[in-house]
Amino acid sequence: MVIDEAEAEAMRGLGAYLARLGHTHVAMVVDSGRADTAPHEIVDVTTLYNNARLRMQGLREGLGANARLTVVSGGHNSIESGIAAAALALDRRDRPTAIAAGGDVLAFGVIEAMRRRGLTPGRDISVTGFDDIPDAESAGLTTVRQPIRDKGRLLGRMLLDPSYTEDRVVLPTELIIRSSTGPVRS
């Protein structure tokens, strides 16, 4: 049984959107799945869990061959991990022009790390998330919306309804553009 939101396809669209804005140096903040992980750059992408790997692959494809993508993690899916991973990307001499977080919660951490450095999302550095959780709208977060409620209902049906025979379902996603992204500043 698999429910798939077309992870790679959704991030391919997000990457293409960032490329249209002129972003060629992007960092991706991912969930390492562990709370005790120190912030680090991901060199071996096979260590990422499947969704993160698919999202990274799609983002890379959407950005295009001339873009540079750095993948970083600060630990599990939390604001604190997003802050830690973003610090690693933001404090580099060759700071990225955009940061794509693997989830909205991590993106909130990225935004906080930027604010601590006097940077404004969408003006100084673009920030994106994935999920479109309720707080994303009020934060102005550009994100990929996935149908979370539909996913839950469908999973329940797959588990409980013996007459339901599909073993793989692909759910649609939608890029939601808000103020946390903008063109590269010259």
Give the three-class secondary structure for 132: coil
Which tokens hold the place of 105?
A: 């919660």
Considering only the C-alpha atoms of the chain, give the largest distance between any 2 of them, rounded to a whole number of Å: 58
- Each residue of 78-104: pLDDT tens digit? 999 999 999 999 999 999 999 999 999
- Each residue of 121-156: pLDDT tens digit? 999 999 999 999 999 999 999 999 987 777 778 778
pTM, two decimals, is 0.90
d(CA 121, CA 111) in angstroms, rounded, equals 7
